[in-house]
Amino acid sequence: MQRYRAGVIGLGWMGMLYDMATRIGDFFNIDDIDRPTPNLDVHRKIYHHAHPGKEGLPSSYAEAFWDRPEVDLVAAADRDEKRLQAFQERYNITALYTDATEMLSREKLDLVAVATNVKGRADLTCLAVENGAKGIVTAKPMAHTLEEADRMVKACADARVPLNCGAISTTHPSFAKAKELIDGGAIGNVLSIEAPRPGAQHQSWSYFLDSSPAWVIGIGDQQRRGNGTDEFNGPGGSDEFAGQGLMVTHDEIAVYFRPGAPHLRVTGTTGEIVIPTMATGFKLWQDIETASGISRIEVPWPDPQFVGPYGAIYGLADVIDCMEGRLDEPKNSGRRVAIALEVELALKQSSAQGGARVDLPLVDRSLGLNYDWFR
């Protein structure tokens, strides 16, 4: 069995804390190394098993690495000594760093989790590639700006390093089953896709595209919400797209973004695949011949069915599958997330211009989004 050395950069919620504590909502400066840390249970039991697609799996990248028999979790980096100590106590690992650059240069890691705040992710992802990483997972959102996302995607593509950006529902094996059904003609030719928002943080729709976005129109966006301060640096305040809009691909598939829409709907000429909310599973409708003619009827969904939570274990599984030749690209790859980020920014531009058509790709790669304080 191939073995991999793994390390985690950033011991926040996705890096480690989700599997040791209950989420707290205190505001804090994202650059403050004395940010609040909840009471931690370093012996908290997580249910592990070898059958993705079920429930009870680890949520954090540290625990996901620890869960894989072929992965040796060997190091962690964080500026907070309290978190490093908790990591050492839970995993009995002593290669601890307050400088991620030092960890990457010294530990020769095969797998790296970049679970820092957003504005460090692009540089650290590229640095991990430079230091020989063979697979990378990051927390979400992927990056603030198009330039950062471009840099991450290019660095990983050039080095043939699979990049998964976010432990979101799309990483679940049931999404691969949905894509398999669609590609196999279960709902005929795809006509349109619908989602509540473009969601560069949590997108599902771009996984089902076989063609790149051509243009968008958007309306109803809102000003920055929450406790916003400086652009891309503040402790709070989101200006993610909050309106509704349309994106059309080069092969003329329409993707509609509408608040209140299901988590995902893919409509074809002879059927439909829907996941109403993240609390429900997939549903499949197909056109069936009945006594009264053709009717669109719900039919059983084949396993695996979507079941939450959908922690970091699934994105990691995709990355390892890519490294070992079983998969071409992670379901929530950096490339696909970068597409969602560009579409979201184009929708914001269109809305600001009164719903004007905006063609893609966007020329200004410095454009970006602010995210809520805890990102």
Closest listed residue to residue 171, CA positions, set 336, 357, 355: 336
The least confident of 134-143, 310-319, 347-356 is 310-319
Q: 134-179, pLDDT tens digit by residue? A: 999 999 999 999 999 999 999 999 999 999 999 999 999 999 999 9
pLDDT for res 226: 67
How far apart are alpha carbons 330 and 84 in whole angstroms? 29
The residue-averaged pLDDT of 303-320 equals 88
Asked if CATH classification 3.40.50.720 holds for the domain at 4-169+311-334, the reply, yes or no, is yes
d(CA 8, CA 19): 14
**Which residue intervals of the chain are DSSP H helices?**
61-67, 81-91, 100-107, 121-130, 146-159, 173-183, 312-323, 334-352
* 211-230 pLDDT, tens digit each: 999 999 999 998 877 665 55
For residues 18-34, give the mean pLDDT.
Answer: 64
| Mean pLDDT (whole number) for 123-134 | 98
- The CA–CA distances, whole Å, from 327 to 3, 111, 135, 324, 330 equal 18, 17, 13, 8, 7
Residue 265 has pLDDT above 50, yes or no: yes
> Which residues face 194 on adjacent strands?
256, 265
Q: Which two tokens stand for residue 367?
A: 């454009």
For residue 50, pLDDT over 90 is answered with no
61: phi then psi, degrees, rounded to nearest 5: -70, -35
Per-residue model confidence (pLDDT) at position 307: 82
Phi, psi of 216 (to 5 degrees): -140, 160
pLDDT at residue number 73: 98
Residue 221: per-residue pLDDT: 95
pLDDT, tens digit (0-9, with 9 covering 90-100), for 242-251: 999 999 999 9
pLDDT at 186: 98
| DSSP structural state of residue 228 | -
Calculate mean pLDDT across residues 274-294: 91
pLDDT of 358 strictly over 90: yes
Mean pLDDT, to the nearest integer, of 185-200? 95
> Mapped to the 3 state alphabet, what secondary structure does 161-216 carry?
CCEEECCCHHHCHHHHHHHHHHHCCCCCCEEEEEECCCCCCCCCHHHHCCCCEEEE
Angstrom distance (rounded) from CA 195 to CA 10: 31
pLDDT value at residue 106 = 98
Checking if the pLDDT of 231 tops 70, the result is: no
174-306+337-359: CATH homologous superfamily?
Dihydrodipicolinate Reductase; domain 2 (3.30.360.10)
Residue 34 pLDDT: 61
> pLDDT tens-digit profile of 108-125?
999 999 999 898 899 999
Predicted confidence (pLDDT) at residue 51 exceeds the cutoff of 50: no
Task: Categorize the per-residue pLDDT at 30 as very low, low, confident or very high, splitting at 50, 70 and 90.
Answer: very low
Banded pLDDT at 59 (limits 50, 70, 90): confident
Q: For residue 107, what are its two tokens?
A: 């530990």
Domain ranges of the chain: 4-169+311-334, 174-306+337-359
Mean pLDDT for the chain overall: 90
Tokens of 160: 């043939």
Mean pLDDT of 197-215: 93
